[in-house]
Amino acid sequence: MTPHHLHATATAWSIHTAMQQLGALAAAEARQRGDTLTAAAPILRSPIHGTIHPIGGHADPVATLTADRPPPLVQTWAQRIRRLTGRLTWLADMYRLPAGPDPLERILTALPALTLPPRALGLLALHLSDEDELARGWLNQPPYRTRIPGDCPGCRRRSLEAATVGPAAARTVVCAADCRHTPGCRCPGGLEGVRHIWPRAGVLSVVRDAGYA
């Protein structure tokens, strides 16, 4: 796969992980809402509901339950998931990927064999990066990567980071220094101007053979 394929695939798996975390938060939020409604039921059935208190105020079951609660979220987790899903659906449709109920699965399934001009593939990777930053921003989650030993084969800095999510075969390594392929670069398979990225197994063998580890 080209560097654009690798970037897009790594980012799609990052979105996949973020979506799982968002789903867990949405489920917890829904349970909490259900607990609140259950707690409200006895008050709503109360004979004093809607009557006047001696001090002149109406009995308000909602206020009773929520007086000490923090204000509700402006946007629920479920709404965020729907928003992200809509954006991914638009992206999958724009690239005319095979139909399916889950837009992210459509993207992940199509990516390995996707044959498009480099510019179009680069744009896809860029769009996915935007959605990844959006999802992780909601979670306050840094990139799903960890520092690994060895110098970058491109810039020779000790700044390699490996992806920690997705299938082992799809995991990649990037240079945290954001170095990019140049005409005189010795890194195989690069595209000029594109950030260095390698399949994890491949770059580890290059680093080891070159003695950079």
Domain count, the chain: 2
Give me 181's structure tokens: 């392929």
Q: How far is CA 54 from the centre of its chain?
A: 54
Model confidence at 154, pLDDT cuts 50, 70, 90, reads confident
Same structural domain for residues 54 and 150? no
Spatial distance between the Cα atoms of 57 and 179, rounded to a whole number of angstroms: 66
> For 161-208, how does the pLDDT look when each residue is reduced to its tens digit (9 = 90+)?
999 999 999 999 998 888 887 777 767 667 777 888 888 877 666 555
- Domain boundary among the residues 139, 154, 183 is at 139
Domain that holds residue 24: 3-139
- Domain boundary among the residues 109, 139, 169 is at 139
pLDDT of residue 47: 53
- Domain boundary among the residues 139, 156, 184 is at 139
pLDDT at 49 over 60: no
Is 90 strand, coil or helix? helix
Q: Cα-Cα-Cα-Cα dihedral of 82, 162, 197, 133, to 10°?
A: 30
Where is pLDDT greater, at 177 or 109?
109
Range ranked top by mean pLDDT from 24-38, 82-96, 188-202: 82-96
